[in-house]
Structure formats: structure tokens, C-alpha cells
Amino acid sequence: MHICRPVRKRVHRHNMRAQPQAGGRNKLRAAAGHCTVQFMTVVLNIAAAGGRPALWVRPWLATDMPDLLAAMASEYPERGLWSHPDLDVPGQQKWTGPRNEEEAAVWLSGQERGWEGGDWLTFAVLDAPENRVVGHVGLKNRDGGQLGIGERGEIGFWTAADARGRGIAPAAARAVTEWAFTSFGAEGLPSIMLVHDVDNPASCRVAAKSGYPFHELSPANPPHWFTDGHIHLAKAM
């Protein structure tokens, strides 16, 4: 998922732990008793609507990498796709999409690490009839650390250039949001923010269409970020 704006860094809290299971699946459990969620089995099915095809939203797989590399070759994201913050890669690569098979393997390992640790939950968005990757949605704890421990989440998204304008990002973001609130509960995940630069009106439209009303302005804060932004906020029921 696209990194919209930088996060504040702080010491991670590890209230949840990954429990490896048969078949490579992982169960994350909130030690505080917030929730128990089977993460690696998540598949969200979204029915077709209007001009948008039916979508599958699920964790990234190695078989998705050719589609992702093709999308990156077509239009490289200015600020990249979300990648795990602890990835052992230099500089900008941490924040950008993969450009070759080697980078794709590193990038994918970061997504898997995020699911195992429960601190970086990213999804491939597939055009179901074509079985082709058309987008990305990611969810993380805004302040770093694991999701579901009572702190605010942050969502981000990206749609491949040739798939834009069909409502894919709003549908996928809405589905992930509903899944997260249902999975973690209001106590574990009270709210999720969506942040974008003011000069990104397409993201503002995605926010409006996916259930993230405008919350407040996020002023520029150089050298961390240089433009004003909007903070949109979805709250758990």
C-alpha cells in the first residue's frame, strides 16, 4: 500500500504473539484478550458493482509478484507501496514497490513478516474474473507496533494505473476496514485513519467513498513531510 505520510516512530509494544500453525498459517492472539484472529486465511470477496469487477482481497502471495512487477514497470509509485518497517533493505527501497524479482522477494518477505507479527497487514486486491492483481491495501498501527491493542490504525491503498477510475480502491478499503473492525472489535481497534496530501484529490474521493469522513487538517511538518494533508477517520461501531 502506498505510504501516504510518515509515521511517528516509537517503541513497539508486543502484546500479541504469532503462533505458527500447520500449513504455514498463523494465529495472532491479543494478550489483553481483545481478540483472536486467523490472519493468513483471510479472503474478502467483493461482488461486482457498476463498472467495477468482482474483487478478491487477501494477503500477498508469491504468485502475485509478476502482476505487481508489471504494474510497477507501468507506473512506479511516487512514494511506493507499504512495506514492513523492519525490512533489512537500504534507503528508499523500504518505501517503494519492487522493480525486479529480487526486490519482489524481499518485499514479499516483508508482507509475510507483517502478518506473522500482526503489525503490518497488507492485502493484494485482485480482479476476480481475470485473477489479476489490480491493487493493494494495507493496515498498520499508526504509531507502530501491533494492531488490535487498543490503538488507532492507519490504512493506505494503491490501484494499478490501468485499473483506476473503476472504484476498486474504495471497495477494497471498505472491505478491509469492515474486516478489521469486526476482527479486532472496538476495544482492540477503536478507529482507523486515512491520511493523504491535499494535492491528492483522488485519495480524498476514496476516503469519502470508503467510509472515512474528514477529521482534521494535518499541517506540513518539515523535514518529516512537506505538504498539508487531510486526516480522515473511520470509527468502530
Ligand X SMILES: CC(C)(COP(=O)(O)OP(=O)(O)OC[C@H]1O[C@@H](n2cnc3c(N)ncnc32)[C@H](O)[C@@H]1OP(=O)(O)O)[C@@H](O)C(=O)NCCC(=O)NCCS
Task: Report the interface residues with ligand X, using CB under 6 A.
Answer: 2, 4, 77, 156-159, 164-170, 196, 200, 202-203, 205-206, 209
Q: Minimum distance between the CB of residue 174 and ligand X, rounded to whole angstroms?
A: 11
Indicate the burial class of 47 (C-beta count within 10 angstroms; 0-12, 13-18, 19 or more).
Answer: exposed
Q: In what order do the strands lie in the sheet with 36-38?
A: 16-20, 26-30, 36-38
**Residues 135, 124: Cα–Cα separation, whole Å:** 6
Q: Minimum distance between the CB of residue 196 and ligand X, rounded to whole angstroms?
A: 4
Q: Which is nearer to ligand X, 25 or 76 (CB)?
A: 76
Query: Which residue blocks in the chain are alpha helix, DSSP H?
Result: 65-74, 101-117, 168-188, 201-209
Please provide the distance, in angstroms rounded to a whole number, between the alpha carbons at the two ends of the chain: 25
Q: In what order do the strands lie in the sheet with 191-197?
A: 44-46, 55-59, 121-127, 132-141, 153-159, 191-197, 229-235, 214-218
Q: Which is nearer to ligand X, 116 or 127 (CB)?
A: 127
Q: Which is nearer to ligand X, 163 or 180 (CB)?
A: 163
Q: Which is nearer to ligand X, 59 or 170 (CB)?
A: 170
Cell of 173: 478499503
**Residues 60, 65: Cα–Cα separation, whole Å:** 8
Q: Minimum distance between the CB of residue 156 and ligand X, rounded to whole angstroms?
A: 6
Q: Which is nearer to ligand X, 96 or 111 (CB)?
A: 96
Residue nearest to ligand X (CB): 165
Q: Minimum distance between the CB of residue 205 and ligand X, rounded to whole angstroms?
A: 4
Q: Minimum distance between the CB of residue 203 and ligand X, rounded to whole angstroms?
A: 4
